[in-house]
Amino acid sequence: MPLSAVQTFSDPDEYAAAIRAANTEFAVTGRGHFTAKLIRIDLHRLWMQRASDNLPRISHPTNIVGRAVVSFRTQPGPSLLTDGLEMQATDIVRHSDGQSYYRRSSGLAAYASMSLPVEVVVSCGAAIAGIDLTPPKDPLIHTPPASAMMKLQRLHAAVGRLAENAPEIIANPDAARGLEQALIEAVVGCLEDRDDREPRLAQGQHAIVMRRFHRVVEENTGDPLYIPEICKAIGVSESTLRMCCQEHLGISPKRYLLLRRMALTRRALRQAEPDATSVTAIATRYGFWELGRFAVVYQALFGESPSAALHRPPN
């Protein structure tokens, strides 16, 4: 049964949890009041999302295994990068099957995604345009002919608007099938005659470094990590890691680790029962031992004190 949902968020964690892509992790890197909106539409085999969020941030989504995913910006704006590759509003990113990637924005970001089971996308590519649409090994950015991209943008936006204003139409199985056909045709039209930007040799290397980096980071949520230690675990020099982080995250690894730990602490504070725990207990769990300094950084980042976050009732 096709369905759609439109949600707005003021909490980055709730937003990250609602985006379809397993284990999306989200670290806001800019200050201000976070707001985001997500439209999720599941047709029959085609799933699509339209998302927008307003603050500079880094997310680390993992694509669902067995689904071919494309994503694109829905409006021009502050820079938006996928694994260090700048996305223009005229571009489309073909993602690799089941892989994770970093996406960072330097401000308001509005983007869309579409996914289909790999076997469906492969057979549609062959049937409609005689092309191979097997997901690439690393994410690829492609600039389709302007008219094909505009058509995709138009149709995707129109379906998003249906989800907002007339979800009954999306819920109708016949209508959903028609929408799906039109959208698949539009996306295949964008990927015909593609002149995939040849990934730089270094790009694949850097992506591997960053995947390892993420693995190390993920395995150590509690303790603060030290850069030399991480470099040893990954097997790269500090300057290489620094370069890769600059490319994929836009910040140094140290800064990223701090922001990430802060975001985790905030999530824990928001989820904790104020009667059963304390700011001190939670902050030290995430390696913040200098509590005065922690509170200052926390306040600067999130615009409220840690104890306010702890005591605020859930949205």
One of 161, 215, 255, 312 touching another protein (CB under 8 A)? 161
One of 89, 108, 120, 182 touching another protein (CB under 8 A)? 182
Size of the site for another protein (CB under 8 A): 24
Tell me the sheet residues that pair with 58. 27, 104
CB of 173 to another protein, least distance (A): 7
Q: Which amino acid is at 204?
A: G
Binding mask 126-155 for another protein (x = CB under 8 A): -------------------------x--xx
One of 55, 68, 179, 191 touching another protein (CB under 8 A)? 179
By beta-carbon proximity to another protein, the closer residue of 108 and 155 is 155
Residue 186 contacts another protein per CB under 8 A: yes
CB of 186 to another protein, least distance (A): 8
By beta-carbon proximity to another protein, the closer residue of 119 and 168 is 168
Residue 119 contacts another protein per CB under 8 A: no
3-class SS letters over the chain: CCEEEEEEECCHHHHHHHCCCEEEEEEECCCCCCCEEEEEEECCCCEEEEEEECCCEEEEEECCCCEEEEEEECCCCCCEEECCEECCCCCEEECCCCCECCEEECCCEEEEEEEEEHHHHHHHHHHHHCCCCCCCCCCEEECCCHHHHHHHHHHHHHHHHHHHHCHHHHHCHHHHHHHHHHHHHHHHHHHCCCCCCCCCHHHHHHHHHHHHHHHHHHHCCCCCCCHHHHHHHHCCCHHHHHHHHHHHHCCCHHHHHHHHHHHHHHHHHHHCCCCCCCHHHHHHHCCCCCHHHHHHHHHHHHCCCHHHHHHCCCC
By beta-carbon proximity to another protein, the closer residue of 131 and 150 is 150
CB of 53 to another protein, least distance (A): 24
Distances (CA, A) of 81 to 67, 107, 113, 115, 294: 21, 11, 14, 19, 30
Binding mask 254-283 for another protein (x = CB under 8 A): ------------------------------
Q: Say if residues 124 and 133 touch (Cβ distance below 8 Å).
A: yes
One of 175, 216, 295, 297 touching another protein (CB under 8 A)? 175
By beta-carbon proximity to another protein, the closer residue of 47 and 286 is 47
Residue in the block written with tokens 């995604």: 113
By beta-carbon proximity to another protein, the closer residue of 146 and 201 is 146
One of 37, 45, 177, 270 touching another protein (CB under 8 A)? 177
CB of 154 to another protein, least distance (A): 6
How many Å apart are CA 70 and CA 234, to the nearest integer?
Answer: 29
Contact segment (CB under 8 A) with another protein among 135-143, 158-166, 217-225, 239-247 equals 158-166
Residue 46 contacts another protein per CB under 8 A: no
Residue 78 contacts another protein per CB under 8 A: no
Phi, psi (5° rounding) for residue 25? -115, 150
One of 32, 178, 222, 228 touching another protein (CB under 8 A)? 178
Residue 165 contacts another protein per CB under 8 A: yes
Residue in the block written with tokens 């104890």: 307
Residue 236 contacts another protein per CB under 8 A: no
- Binding stretches for another protein (CB under 8 A): 151, 154-155, 157-159, 161-162, 165-166, 168-169, 172-179, 181-182, 185-186
